[in-house]
A and B are shown apart, each in its own frame.
Chain A
């Protein structure tokens, strides 16, 4: 394959849409620091440029090489998460590792590792086994191990998103409907058991979500302020740099988890809807690519990546609009924060590789 052909087949539309989101993010971060490139907006752009470059690099890696490496990635991810547990156990929270002065959250790229390993697993299964429940049990184990490690960090939001991304691959691989419905029933039934396993702060978040007024100084404060900021933005917003809720520091975490709220206050319903549409477009384009690529591995990987990206967006927007509890989830490409952005670009790189190196199923 020539470089020229590869560049022609590169999914430029995806990269363009991603760049659009990065630009929106840079504007929002510029506003979050009261009209300054410091400390967030400038670094956001630099990181995004590195990320785009990474997409191009990953795109040239043969998807088959990625397929062969996918189990290794999962093992690596689990090992790092387990090591983090041991190292970070002293402080109680073990989410971050420092690589060259940058703080990286290994649970984010672990999502990709789970997706690739599952795609590889189903890629290797003989056809006649897809109707049997036995086939799906190892897949569940591949999700459960990293899920539990991330849950213990403790990071409920990321753990749930990791699990949902993996489960959507099991669903896409063709889990018979009776099991789909059965497992939904099991999940509903196990809610009380799960509840007792949650940390006090996680319970508080859920309780706050159910009744935000009760806790006006804690997480409920964030949601109440977020709703006021969004609602007061109206249809077209208060204007760039004019969001009083954000500029007066009412809004907490406005550069990370609540950046969508800040955009909503300054650009209104129109601005928010625009972001939703761009995200949806990226997700649907990736699903369309999954429809076109021939290899089963590529197909399932693309579906998993599309779902991962969608869950990022859905959980974050659901959270800031008060539909979901505050679990601490960023809005990738827009929020300030390197790891989620890196994970999304990694995903886009794999999609690009899948489309560039697609050939007949062997």
Chain B
């Protein structure tokens, strides 16, 4: 039985083996049939394809969308640049050819390695880009010698250019070559060698709209690999052109006014200036990144341009008319090959030019915050328009003594005159009575403490403190003294210049929560803004105070009025201490601002709207370490506002 069973099993296995052999025969027959079909039956078709129709595909980069200002002046465009290519098919010894090219153009070992690796992977007739963005000098040298190097050719490609130089740098941002990380996140970027991707600014925010969709070309080559014809398979579709609400005329004026401040420009050519540049690293740093300006201060010292920010927005539409952050840099540095040298200069710059101070710079708003406190107090009913407090020059709360900026005090002041003279004690008093919760509530409605949503990356939210905020961030209970300090926009309160401009625009507008916008392509209709929800009567009182700042006999900015022909301007100064004044210093007498080191001087702030009767533009100016708001920031804001109204009118 067992023996028979074993025999049966052996037979069964053999039978199955036979079946498998049959299967092998059948499948091999299938393969042979397929080969016959390809190599005999359809051979002539494939021979044709092989002889005439050998083709290769090439991805065609789309033209990147351009950026324009409101008058269609070009902010970012595409220019042709030359690239150096080799065709391995026509090169005898690629390594030797590259070694020869190394003597003519700049090539890194990485670039050479990259070419050699690519050559192993792609069809040998295909051009490989050795270097992008050849300089005129390299082109001239190559033109003479490339005849001796077979297989070396030139090609044209596109390069992003920013014709306005440093002027639009923080708004447009810049484009630079695609990074490895970006390719890992988005494989389609591998096929987009031209131009690269936006890294900051509008170029970053609207990357998808600007980029466009790549196309495809079919290149026919003969059996020897020489290209015969190029067909467009799928046309590349260009990226969308975007139009910004910026006005480059005003932008230029704002950039110059902000950077010059009270300083006197000097000519760069003189030997004195050249010597100063050679000796002063800070001057050199500015010039190296394209911010070419040297000035003289009151003490006849040669100094770099002022740092800070200026933002002008339309009170009705929210359109950003001008947005300047200083120091500035030239975005064209990034578009070709960013030299390590330039990158180091930007990163080691003592004043961080890459930082867009208008949206990412956080400053204590100082006295410009007093409108918020005044509105909160009026709304809470703790004061009326007529309520007066007496200012003896300080206020005492428990053991602490809070000083007014004016030692001798302002006497009896109401809200309007307190704004006019920027009396600190008045706002200490009403802040205490109103409480931080209601102040915070008003600040949030005016656009502080949250990002405005402008389409630029890196916008900061700022800080409007509250009980909860302090508990969450410092783990401590809020004290009344902190409410007092917040009453004059110091302590924990922080805002960006853009937020201050938005705050001013909302006070001036009075009806809508104006929100800033940069693109005119998708500008929201003014009717879409949320209602502001602040009593018109209260706003009117605060606006009167802002008018008094300019026109009152004691107004802090009375010497910087906007011409009546332009409709006049209402504003508010702010001066923010950077370094605490000690008791000893106070008794000795405060050292004048100009005698302190730059980094220890006060920040100067000014916010304003104009014209007075029918407000159309709001402005915020911050001059870092510029001194007092009335002396350093108000004239800058006045100049920019004048230019804005002269250029755009108020219709």
Contact = CB atoms under 8 A, between A and B. Distances in A.
A251 to B, nearest CB: 9
A165 B138 CA distance: 62
Contact of B43 (A217, A234, A244, A290): A234
Contact of A272 (B14, B20, B25, B35): B35
B124 A227 contact: no
Contact of B50 (A228, A306, A322): A228
A230 B122 CA distance: 20
A194 interface: no
A107 interface: no
Contact of A287 (B6, B12, B17): B17
Contact of B39 (A127, A231, A245): A231
A303 interface: yes
B156 interface: no
Contacts of A234: 39-40, 43, 47
A250 B45 contact: no
Contacts of A130: 9, 12
A248 B124 contact: yes
Interface in A255-292: 264, 268-269, 272-273, 276, 279-280, 283-284, 287, 290-291
A232 B28 contact: no
A264 B20 contact: no
Contacts of B122: 249
Contacts of B27: 310, 314
Contacts of A322: 34
A244 B225 CA distance: 9
A318 B89 CA distance: 32
A264 B32 CA distance: 12
A235 interface: yes
Nearest to A264: B39
Contacts of A227: 38, 46
A360 to B, nearest CB: 11
A142 to B, nearest CB: 18
A239 interface: no
Interface stretch (A18-26, A166-174, A347-355): A166-174
Interface in A147-198: 168, 171-174
Interface in B103-152: 122-125
Interface in B22-77: 24-25, 27-28, 30-32, 34-36, 38-40, 42-43, 45-47, 49-51, 54, 57, 59
A271 to B, nearest CB: 10
A314 B31 contact: yes
Contacts of B38: 227, 230-231, 321
Contacts of B102: none
B54 A303 contact: no
Interface string B416-433: 000000000000000000
Contacts of A168: 20
A28 interface: no
Contact of A264 (B24, B28, B35, B123): B35
Nearest to A221: B57
A284 B123 CA distance: 40
A234 B89 CA distance: 26
Contacts of B40: 234-235, 269
A307 B6 contact: no
Interface in A279-328: 279-280, 283-284, 287, 290-291, 296, 299-300, 303, 306-307, 310, 314, 317-318, 321-323
Contact of A323 (B16, B17, B25, B31): B31
A248 B46 contact: no
A216 interface: yes
B6 A248 contact: no
B13 interface: yes
Contact of B13 (A233, A244, A269, A300): A300
Nearest to B119: A249
A229 interface: yes
B34 A323 contact: yes
Contact of B42 (A231, A249, A314): A231
Summarize B's interface: helix, strand, loop or mixed: helix
A191 B126 CA distance: 41
Contacts, number: 143
Given A248-B124, A280-B25, A296-B9, A230 B32 contact: no
A269 B35 contact: yes
B39 A268 contact: yes
A221 B89 CA distance: 20
B45 A231 contact: yes
B381 interface: no
B46 A172 contact: no
Contact of B54 (A221, A244, A291): A244
A232 B46 contact: yes
A312 B464 CA distance: 71
A296 B57 contact: no
B9 A244 contact: no
Contacts of A287: 17-18, 20-21, 24
Given A230-B46, A284-B21, A272 B57 contact: no
A141 to B, nearest CB: 21
A296 B31 contact: no
A69 B337 CA distance: 62
A216 B35 contact: no
A226 B225 CA distance: 17
B17 A303 contact: yes
Nearest to A314: B27
B181 interface: no
A19 to B, nearest CB: 21
Contacts of A249: 122-124
B20 A303 contact: yes
Nearest to B88: A249
Contact of A321 (B5, B35, B45, B89): B35
Interface in A199-221: 216-217, 221
B34 A231 contact: no
Contacts of B9: 127, 130, 174, 296
A245 B56 CA distance: 12
Contact of B24 (A128, A232, A284): A284
Given A231-B38, A232-B43, A249-B122, A306 B20 contact: yes
Contacts of B25: 280, 284
A307 B125 CA distance: 42
Contacts of B34: 318, 321-323
A221 B57 CA distance: 10
B5 A173 contact: no
B34 to A, nearest CB: 5
Contacts of B32: 273, 276
A233 B16 contact: no
Contacts of A300: 13
B96 interface: no
Contacts of A228: 46, 49-50, 54
Contacts of A128: 5
Nearest to A280: B28
Contacts of B49: 228, 231-232
A231 B38 CA distance: 5
A245 B17 contact: no
Given A228-B49, A230-B46, A250-B123, A291 B17 contact: yes
B223 A244 contact: yes
23 contacts: A127-B2, A130-B9, A130-B12, A173-B13, A216-B57, A221-B57, A228-B54, A230-B35, A231-B50, A232-B47, A232-B49, A234-B43, A269-B36, A269-B39, A272-B39, A273-B35, A276-B28, A276-B35, A283-B21, A296-B13, A314-B27, A323-B31, A323-B34
Given A231-B47, A276-B35, A283-B24, 5 more contacts: A127-B2, A168-B20, A230-B38, A232-B46, A284-B21
Give the 9 A-B CB pairs with smallest separation, nearest first. A231-B46, A232-B50, A269-B39, A127-B5, A172-B16, A234-B43, A232-B46, A232-B47, A174-B12
